[in-house]
Chains A and B, each alone.
Chain A
Amino acid sequence: MAKRIDDFIIRENRKINSDFFVLELSGNNYLPLLKPGQFVQVKIEDSPETFLRRPLSIHDVDYEKNTISLLVQIAGKGTTKLSKLNPGEMLNIIYPLGNSFSLPAENSDILLIGGGCGVAPLLFLGKYLKSNGYNPSILIGFRNSDRIIEYDEYAAIGNVYLTTEDGSKGEKGFVTDHSILRDHRFDHVSCCGPASMMKAVAGYCFENDIKCEVSLENLMACGFGVCLCCVVSTVKGNVCTCTDGPVFNIKDLKW
């Protein structure tokens, strides 16, 4: 799919809590067909100090409104600057980048697992799966109840299971501690979150012989396969997360 570089207009910048906000963007051109798992590279204007683009996964797409939503976690100066954008302001993005989550086998019992800002691509993925006749469940984990994102839209897709590290909401612990993983066997897991969490999920899936894809969040400079900074070690050698990924089958990774 041809990559584009376009100015988008901010339609809405919705604060969710102290950590997260959602940017809803609309373009001048009609959106191409986007795939869950793909990401965009966002330029941060007037910020010479943090001059690299920020890779953000596509959180939601509305083709009728011609909008893309990005769920962003405030992590540093770049994302702080993004959090202060107002409706009507422009945002330059390069998109669509990367591969996508694969469609599970028919009638698969699917679990989407997300941790922190890793929940972002799972909304787009969940809606996509739902519209293709699947009924995925969703397991999401956060540090504590103050950091949880609103998950009504996730609940509209399927059962939502929740963990917080301090137990202030949902089950206590990490996503891999949730009882659903002991009580139920899924066929297919799609996962995004911090590397340590994804490695733990991958370990669980290997043990239980569950097909599993993870979406990596490696640091990158370009996003389209030229800087070679975001590599991950795989059975094929070092490959770029931005072009060969960000979604990988855990069987291919040597991390």
Chain B
Amino acid sequence: MVNLGISIGNLKFKNPVITASGTFGYGSEFDDFINVASLGGIILKGTTMEPREGNPYPRMAETPSGMLNAVGLQNKGIDYFEKNIYPGISGYETNVIVNINGSYLEDYIALAERVNKLEKIPAIELNISCPNVKMGGMAFGTNPDSAREVTKEVRKVYSKLLIVKLSPNVTNIVDFARIAEEEGADSVSLINTLLGMSVNVNTMKPSLSTITGGLSGPAVKPVALRMVWQVAKAVRIPVIGVGGIMNTNDAIEFFLAGASAIEVGTASFIDPQISVKIIDGISNYLTEKGFSDIKEIIGLINRNSD
């Protein structure tokens, strides 16, 4: 029997497999397919202060081994969440994490204060990296000063586990991870989607209503893996790896490169059971390789290549 349990900050996860924000709804959408409680954690879709309609259709374009999305944080806002969604999900026996987003600094602070009061939410993922909103989002995560300010101010009001989700659309993601660490984040998750675009040659128009969108799926995995490796070497806080993880092998690559946990995103669209299959797959991999604890392989490539 191998131990898959990990801790991020003071929070224990029964295993290191978490579902990524925006790809897992509020969890209940997956009840027909899996036992959600078997996951290490779930990160709910991005929540904002006010309800958001999101961007106009079309919001999605398939690209080779990937997909672009421009959803634009469609959600019903924190009031609706507290009243109608929170009561239904607080029974899940797993870490239920809220991903928070804002147009202004004040939005992030207000949201963090609200979510801090929700007893069954042990963590937030501070999303400063959404590429699909006109205001806020990625603008916070691609400017060092604003990344610092938003992390610092949220840290002041949020007492539980604070994960900062980083944007890959920067010159050096390590700088942003260091800023998050310096300002008191307990963990960083990376990467959010890569800004991309696609043009429809038949209609001679952009494929997305917003022209640009966020690229996810297997196409981004090598970039995500490289960034996780760089960041994991540079900071002491645990790194959560996310980007194009489609199967067990992909997940293992992230652990070996230094991730303490992983998020499964786009893969859940194709196989809603994949996150559970990956948990089993990690267990089998460790057994086959003669390890008894997932922690033994975190960052192992750095030791193996010395």
Binding site for B on A (CB under 8 A): 2-5, 43, 48-53, 94, 218-233, 237-238
B272 surroundings in chain A (CB, below 8 A) = 5, 94, 222, 224
Neighbour of A229 across the interface among B33, B60, B270, CB < 8 A: B60
Neighbour of A53 across the interface among B32, B59, B74, B270, CB < 8 A: B270
Q: Are A51 and B65 in contact (CB under 8 A)?
A: yes
A220 CA / B59 CA spacing, docked (Å): 9
Neighbour of A48 across the interface among B61, B74, B218, CB < 8 A: B218
Q: Are A3 and B32 in contact (CB under 8 A)?
A: yes
Q: Tell me the dominant secondary structure on chain A's binding face.
A: loop
Q: Are A225 and B62 in contact (CB under 8 A)?
A: no
A51 surroundings in chain B (CB, below 8 A) = 62, 65-66, 217-218, 246, 270
Q: Are A226 and B23 in contact (CB under 8 A)?
A: yes
Q: Can you name the residue of chain B whose Cβ is closest to the Cβ of A94?
A: B272
Q: Are A224 and B270 in contact (CB under 8 A)?
A: no
A227 in contact with B64 given A2-B32, A221-B266 (CB within 8 Å)? no
Q: Are A231 and B25 in contact (CB under 8 A)?
A: no
Q: Can you name the residue of chain A whose Cβ is closest to the Cβ of B59?
A: A229
Q: Are B32 and A52 in contact (CB under 8 A)?
A: no
Q: Are B53 and A49 in contact (CB under 8 A)?
A: no
Q: Can you name the residue of chain B whose Cβ is closest to the Cβ of A50?
A: B62
A219 surroundings in chain B (CB, below 8 A) = 58, 60-61
A94 CA / B272 CA spacing, docked (Å): 9
Q: Are B74 and A226 in contact (CB under 8 A)?
A: no
Q: Can you name the residue of chain A whose Cβ is closest to the Cβ of B34?
A: A5
A228 CA / B76 CA spacing, docked (Å): 13
B53 surroundings in chain A (CB, below 8 A) = 237-238
Q: Are A221 and B269 in contact (CB under 8 A)?
A: yes
B145 surroundings in chain A (CB, below 8 A) = none
Does B283 count as interface, using CB distance less than 8 angstroms? no
Q: Can you name the residue of chain B whose Cβ is closest to the Cβ of A44?
A: B270
User: Number of residues in B with C-beta < 8 Å to the partner?
Assistant: 35
A149 CA / B69 CA spacing, docked (Å): 34
Does B71 count as interface, using CB distance less than 8 angstroms? yes
Q: Can you name the residue of chain A whose Cβ is closest to the Cβ of B213?
A: A229
Q: Are B57 and A228 in contact (CB under 8 A)?
A: no
Q: Are B57 and A227 in contact (CB under 8 A)?
A: no
B248 surroundings in chain A (CB, below 8 A) = none
B246 surroundings in chain A (CB, below 8 A) = 51
Q: Tell me the dominant secondary structure on chain B's binding face.
A: loop
User: What number of A-B contacts does a CB cutoff of 8 Å give?
Assistant: 88
A2 surroundings in chain B (CB, below 8 A) = 32
B69 surroundings in chain A (CB, below 8 A) = 221, 227, 229
Does B106 count as interface, using CB distance less than 8 angstroms? no
A237 CA / B58 CA spacing, docked (Å): 15
Neighbour of B56 across the interface among A52, A223, A225, A233, CB < 8 A: A233
B32 surroundings in chain A (CB, below 8 A) = 2-4
- Could you tell me which residues of chain B, from 130 to 156, have a CB within 8 Å of some CB in chain A? none
Does B67 count as interface, using CB distance less than 8 angstroms? yes
Q: Are A49 and B64 in contact (CB under 8 A)?
A: yes
A224 CA / B67 CA spacing, docked (Å): 17
Q: Are A231 and B57 in contact (CB under 8 A)?
A: yes
Q: Are A52 and B65 in contact (CB under 8 A)?
A: no
Does B222 count as interface, using CB distance less than 8 angstroms? no
Does B38 count as interface, using CB distance less than 8 angstroms? no
Q: Can you name the residue of chain A whose Cβ is closest to the Cβ of B57?
A: A231
A49 CA / B66 CA spacing, docked (Å): 7
B74 surroundings in chain A (CB, below 8 A) = 228, 231, 238
20 CB < 8 A contacts A-B: A4-B32, A50-B62, A51-B65, A51-B217, A52-B270, A219-B58, A219-B61, A221-B266, A221-B269, A222-B269, A222-B272, A223-B269, A226-B23, A226-B25, A226-B269, A227-B60, A227-B71, A228-B74, A229-B60, A230-B57
Q: Can you name the residue of chain A whose Cβ is closest to the Cβ of B62?
A: A52
Does B292 count as interface, using CB distance less than 8 angstroms? no
Shortest beta-carbon distance, B284 to chain A, in Å?
21
Does B169 count as interface, using CB distance less than 8 angstroms? no
Shortest beta-carbon distance, A3 to chain B, in Å?
4
Contacts A218-B58, A226-B29 aside, 18 further interface pairs with beta carbons under 8 A come to A5-B272, A49-B64, A50-B62, A51-B218, A52-B67, A224-B272, A225-B29, A226-B25, A228-B22, A228-B45, A228-B54, A229-B59, A229-B69, A230-B57, A230-B60, A231-B54, A237-B53, A238-B53
Shortest beta-carbon distance, A81 to chain B, in Å?
14
Q: Can you name the residue of chain B whose Cβ is closest to the Cβ of A224?
A: B29
Counting from the closest, the 9 A-B pairs by CB-CB distance are: A229-B60, A226-B25, A222-B269, A3-B32, A221-B269, A228-B71, A229-B59, A49-B64, A2-B32
Q: Can you name the residue of chain B whose Cβ is closest to the Cβ of A225?
A: B29
B270 surroundings in chain A (CB, below 8 A) = 43, 51-53
B45 surroundings in chain A (CB, below 8 A) = 226, 228
Shortest beta-carbon distance, B118 to chain A, in Å?
21
B103 surroundings in chain A (CB, below 8 A) = none
Q: Can you name the residue of chain B whose Cβ is closest to the Cβ of A222?
A: B269
Shortest beta-carbon distance, B209 to chain A, in Å?
11
